[in-house]
């Protein structure tokens, strides 16, 4: 078995890898985005397609990313190159890593803005600003925040600094240490909140909305959104998981580890949906309200429930932690690459890259105020960044990674890395990665395009 050393370090154990990758996966995508896009795309029908995408496309691609990372033992750009060369193919495959790193920056720039809203809400909840507030008033609080570039800038800046601070510490003293503190805290908070919402919510209608399958609610666009979201939520298609995989111990099994991560991510998304929709219906709010769903409906509910101030505060702390661990993983591929390429220390690299994403974030946050006039393909900057990353960059990145792992990387390498004890499982993975995942992505792309043109 071949094992290179990673200059950045490696996780202390398989469990640290699971926690770190789960930290990457579980984020705003689960708690903020999943409920609102499920709401906009018809609920149950969308959720079913999303689950199928996770299993048939997401899981095999996540395994591919981890195996390529662990084989290459470098940043995604350099691991792709290294593994391509080992398989006697062109080093140009590094381009996929480049596109991924770019996607990471684009995602970060709007992710940090939303994380900034979350931080603002942590403060607002602590101050009791939503006590006894109605939905109209809560909507006004949210819209006032969006209209205030200065407030947005402050919170966005705080978030960028928090993320860069952890990245600066490196794999062991930064990422690993943060993971070991934040992930247990995140799960304790989640359980606490679940118990709270079960004891005080009208579950039925919310559950029905999430799980009632109505095929007429489906469109090719909704299927594309479900596919894109399955990549976004699992942090796939851009190299985050590949980077984390490059720090994974050699003796850990990839298949079981990846299934655990995907399952945890899915559970968190469904729990978030089950917490939000009952409240939406109980207050006759609109499930298709969009990005404001979490920021308007939940504060109203918390404002009227016993203990709501405390639990509302804890809820937004939970979301902030989730966003933090994900944002760290968005930047790790770029940071690792610059350290390798320029031979710099993490400090200067984090300061430079932090400055770049900070500037990009300003463009994103201007969408709601001084830059609201800017329109790209009919979208503001924020929506455009969200749309092209989730629906184009990530699925395409995932498609290329699947083709790479399935057709370029030799079976000798993939068998060695996956080390499946049950032979059937390797065959199943290979069929998924060679045929099912690429064909599914291609078909969804093509039909969506036809649908748009027709």
By CB under 6 A, name the binding residues for ligand PFF: 24-25, 27-30, 104, 107, 232-233, 235, 238, 240, 326, 329-330
In whole angstroms, the minimum distance from the beta carbon of 453 to ligand PFF comes to 29
- 429 alpha-carbon distance from chain centroid: 23
Asked if residues 333 and 242 have their Cβ atoms less than 8 Å apart, the reply is yes
The Cα–Cα gap between 277 and 295 comes to 13
Asked if residues 208 and 390 have their Cβ atoms less than 8 Å apart, the reply is no
The Cα–Cα gap between 66 and 418 comes to 9
User: Of the candidates 293, 309, 295, 137, which has an alpha carbon nearest to the alpha carbon of residue 209?
Assistant: 293
Sign of the dihedral defined by the CA atoms of residues 7, 12, 17, 20, in that order: negative
In whole angstroms, the minimum distance from the beta carbon of 105 to ligand PFF comes to 11
Q: Using only the alpha carbons of the chain, give its radius of gyration.
A: 21
Nearer to ligand PFF, 201 or 334 (CB): 334
Asked if residues 350 and 160 have their Cβ atoms less than 8 Å apart, the reply is no
Nearer to ligand PFF, 24 or 246 (CB): 24
Through-space distance between the first and last CA atoms of the chain, rounded to whole angstroms: 52
Nearer to ligand PFF, 130 or 232 (CB): 232
The Cα–Cα gap between 91 and 107 comes to 26
24's contact among ligand PFF, Na ion, none, with CB below 5 to 8 A by partner kind, is ligand PFF
Residues binding Na ion: number (CB under 5 A): 5
Nearer to Na ion, 117 or 358 (CB): 117
Per-residue tokens: 74: 């470098």
Span near Na ion by CB under 5 A; candidates 83-91, 164-172, 226-234, 372-380: 226-234
Per-residue tokens: 21: 């990758």
Tell me the residue ranges of DSSP E strands in 139-283.
Answer: none
- When CB distances to ligand PFF are compared, the closest residue is 29
Nearer to ligand PFF, 79 or 240 (CB): 240
What phi-psi label fits residue 412: left (phi over 0), alpha (psi between -120 and 50 degrees) or beta? alpha
**For 322, how many CA atoms within 13 A lie in the half-sphere containing its CB?**
30
Nearer to ligand PFF, 101 or 146 (CB): 101
Nearer to ligand PFF, 44 or 237 (CB): 237
The Cα–Cα gap between 17 and 11 comes to 6
In whole angstroms, the minimum distance from the beta carbon of 352 to Na ion comes to 27
Nearer to ligand PFF, 233 or 414 (CB): 233
112's contact among Na ion, ligand PFF, none, with CB below 5 to 8 A by partner kind, is none
Member of 29, 72, 100, 308 binding Na ion (CB under 5 A): 29
Nearer to ligand PFF, 37 or 279 (CB): 37
Per-residue tokens: 161: 């600094």
Contact flags string 250-289 toward Na ion, x per CB under 5 A? ---------------x------------------------
Asked if residues 243 and 75 have their Cβ atoms less than 8 Å apart, the reply is yes
In whole angstroms, the minimum distance from the beta carbon of 233 to Na ion comes to 3
Nearer to Na ion, 240 or 366 (CB): 240
CB within 8 Å of 263: residues ≥ 6 apart:
none
397's contact among ligand PFF, Na ion, none, with CB below 5 to 8 A by partner kind, is none
Member of 233, 297, 366, 389 binding Na ion (CB under 5 A): 233
CB within 8 Å of 138: residues ≥ 6 apart:
130, 296, 297, 299, 300, 303
What phi-psi label fits residue 286: left (phi over 0), alpha (psi between -120 and 50 degrees) or beta? beta
Q: At what angle do helices 220-233 and 437-453 cross, to 10 degrees?
A: 140
Member of 16, 19, 25, 433 binding Na ion (CB under 5 A): 25
**For 351, how many CA atoms within 13 A lie in the half-sphere containing its CB?**
4
By CB under 5 A, residue 197 contacts Na ion:
no
Task: By CB under 5 A, name the binding residues for Na ion.
Answer: 25, 29-30, 233, 265
């Amino acid at each position: 078995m071949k094992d290179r050393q990673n200059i950045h370090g490696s996780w202390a154990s398989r469990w640290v890898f699971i926690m770190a990758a789960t930290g990457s996966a579980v984020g705003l995508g689960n708690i903020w985005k999943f409920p609102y896009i499920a709401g906009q795309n018809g609920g149950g029908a969308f959720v079913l397609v999303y689950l199928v995408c996770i299993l048939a496309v997401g899981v095999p691609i996540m395994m591919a990313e981890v195996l390529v990372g662990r084989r290459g033992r470098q940043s995604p750009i350099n691991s792709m190159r290294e593994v391509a060369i080992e398989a006697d193919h062109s080093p140009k495959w590094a381009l996929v890593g480049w596109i991924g790193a770019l996607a990471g920056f684009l995602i970060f720039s709007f992710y940090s803005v939303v994380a900034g809203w979350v931080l603002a809400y942590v403060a607002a909840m602590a101050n009791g600003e939503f006590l006894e507030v109605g939905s109209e008033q809560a909507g006004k609080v949210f819209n006032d925040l969006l209209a205030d570039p200065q407030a947005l800038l402050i919170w966005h800046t705080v978030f960028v600094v928090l993320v860069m601070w952890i990245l600066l510490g490196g794999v062991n003293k930064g990422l690993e240490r943060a993971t070991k503190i934040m992930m247990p805290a995140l799960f304790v908070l989640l359980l606490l909140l679940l118990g709270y919402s079960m004891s005080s919510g009208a579950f039925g209608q919310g559950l029905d909305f999430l799980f009632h399958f109505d095929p007429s609610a489906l469109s090719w666009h909704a299927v594309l959104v479900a596919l894109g979201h399955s990549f976004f939520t699992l942090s796939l298609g851009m190299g985050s998981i590949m980077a984390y995989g490059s720090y994974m111990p050699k003796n850990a099994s990839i298949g079981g580890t990846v299934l655990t991560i995907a399952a945890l991510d899915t559970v968190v998304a469904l729990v978030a949906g089950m917490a939000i929709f009952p409240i939406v219906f109980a207050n006759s709010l609109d499930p298709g309200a969009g990005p404001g769903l979490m920021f308007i409906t939940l504060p109203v509910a918390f404002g009227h429930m016993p203990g709501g101030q405390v639990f509302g505060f804890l809820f937004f702390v939970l979301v902030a932690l989730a966003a933090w661990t994900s944002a760290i993983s968005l930047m790790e591929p770029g940071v690792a690459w610059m350290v390798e390429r320029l031979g710099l220390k993490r400090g200067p690299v984090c300061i430079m890259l932090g400055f770049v994403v900070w500037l990009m974030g300003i463009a994103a946050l201007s969408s709601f105020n001084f830059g609201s006039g800017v329109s790209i393909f009919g979208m503001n900057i924020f929506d455009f960044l969200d749309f092209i990353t989730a629906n184009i960059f990530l699925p395409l990145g995932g498609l290329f990674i699947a083709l790479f792992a399935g057709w370029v990387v030799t079976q000798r390498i993939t068998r060695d890395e996956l080390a499946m004890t049950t032979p059937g499982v390797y065959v199943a993975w290979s069929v998924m990665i060679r045929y099912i995942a690429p064909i599914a992505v291609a078909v969804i792309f093509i039909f969506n395009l036809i649908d748009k043109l027709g």
